[in-house]
Amino acid sequence: MKILIYSSVFHPAIGGIENLTLSLAQEFVKSGHEVKVVTEQVQKKNAPLPGIEVVHASSKWAQLKLFFWSDVVYMPNITLKGVWLFLFNPFKKWVVSHNDFHLINSHGPKARLKNIAIKAAATNIAVSHSVARALTVDSTVVYNCYKDEVFRLYPDEPRNIDFLFVGRLVSQKGCEMLIEACSRLRKPFRLNIVGHGFEYEALNAKVQRLGLDDSIGFLGFMRDEELARTMNRHRVMIVPSMGPEGFGIVALEGLACGCKMVVADAGGLAEAVDGFGEVFPMGDVDALTKLLQQALDERDSDPMSNAKAAYLRDRSTRNVAQKYLNLFA
């Protein structure tokens, strides 16, 4: 199959959609399919992606050639900049995946046009039931995958640190609320924060103001095996999002690394842990504090039960990519 991926954002940028799209593209190639990408993301000329041709969206002629070359056009989140191609063949197989809630959170003319356009897609994919319920079209739910070859148990890493937060340091991710909840705990604890963002200074100042600099540390940005090994050293990972998440790949990564998960009931985030973690009402600092206190009091846990392992296998890159390929076909 000849697959054209049309995505505004892509590798080497870092983010949920970027990482997911790259993982799927690489798995499509492993499965014997041809993959080409149109994106606005500038590529690293000295580090091309093996087996994947990437074309910048500024070249309309190159886009058109790839459109005619392809058997199917896949868009991770719809972009109107690629819709013009279907004027040349409105019957071309077109699949759109919806990774977040931007179509219902935006009310301008672009959002209205996007909602009209997705009705013409052969298949719409939602990354969670929460996203599917928000769409104006019928969709097939395919949960996101994670890098299962990287995010796994590392038996040589001692699991002796209490709490971990991984995410962008922005208000939506809820790190400030997590710090507030930790300040109410009745036992000594250690919280490590992985990530970067423009709220770092404010969060660090809050830690200092609360006198928690010996209990809370900022580890900076991490990814891949360094991040996976860091997850393996922690008992509990918290995802305290303050706004709806389309899914939550980071929750799958934490589960795969053996962390006990504590997540907010924020969109598809609770679906990502699927009963293998504790869920609290979004924005409820008292409920979060209670779960953290319980985690400190109950230190014994099974990092990888048989049921959890089976759940994670279904979310592997290979299995999720095959679900996409079945829909493409």
Using pLDDT thresholds of 50, 70 and 90, give the confidence band for residue 46: confident
- The strand pairing partners of 316, in sequence order, are 146
Instruction: Compute the distance between CA of residue 72 and CA of residue 220 in angstroms, rounded to an integer.
Output: 40
Q: Name the token pair of 3.
A: 């697959």
Instruction: Compute the distance between CA of residue 61 and CA of residue 306 in angstroms, rounded to an integer.
Output: 51
More confident residue, 15 or 156: 156
Average pLDDT on 239-255 reads 97
pLDDT beyond 90 at 249: yes
Return the ∠ at Cα 132 (arms to 86 and 7), rounded to 5°.
40
Average pLDDT on 78-88 reads 95
34-39 and 52-56 beta bridge pairing: parallel
pLDDT at 104: 78
Distance of CA 65 to the CA centre of its chain: 31
pLDDT at 303: 84
pLDDT beyond 90 at 15: no
Q: What is the dihedral of CA 249, 145, 95, 167, to 10 degrees?
A: 20
Which domains are delineated in the chain?
A: 2-142 (3.40.50.2000), 161-305 (3.40.50.2000)
Instruction: Compute the distance between CA of residue 95 and CA of residue 28 in angstroms, rounded to an integer.
Output: 15
Please give the biggest Cα pair distance in the chain. Answer: 66
pLDDT beyond 80 at 109: yes
Instruction: Compute the distance between CA of residue 237 and CA of residue 318 in angstroms, rounded to an integer.
Output: 25
More confident residue, 104 or 195: 195
The mean pLDDT value of the chain amounts to 95
pLDDT beyond 80 at 301: no
| Whole-number percent of the chain with pLDDT over 90 | 92
Contact criterion met (CB below 8 Å) for 170 and 199: yes
Residue found under tokens 């959170």: 105
Three-class DSSP labels, the chain: CEEEEEECCCCCCCCHHHHHHHHHHHHHHHCCCEEEEEECCCCCCCCCCCCEEEEECCCHHHHHHHHHHCCEEEEECCCHHHHHHHHCCCCCEEEEEECCCHHHHCCCHHHHHHHHHHHHCCEEEECCHHHHHHCCCCCEECCCCECCCCCCCCCCCCCCEEEEEECCCCHHHCHHHHHHHHCCCCCCCCEEEECCCCCHHHHHHHHHHCCCCCCEEEEECCCHHHHHHHHHCEEEEEECCCCCECCCHHHHHHHHCCCEEEEECCECHHHHHCCCEEEECCCCHHHHHHHHHHHHHCCCCCCCCHHHHHHHHHCEHHHHHHHHHHHHC
pLDDT at 44: 85
Using pLDDT thresholds of 50, 70 and 90, give the confidence band for residue 309: very high
pLDDT at 48: 87
pLDDT beyond 80 at 178: yes
Average pLDDT on 103-122 reads 89
More confident residue, 183 or 110: 183
pLDDT at 302: 78
**Among 139, 197, 147, residue whose Cα is nearest residue 173:** 197
- The strand pairing partners of 194, in sequence order, are 166, 220
Distance of CA 328 to the CA centre of its chain: 22
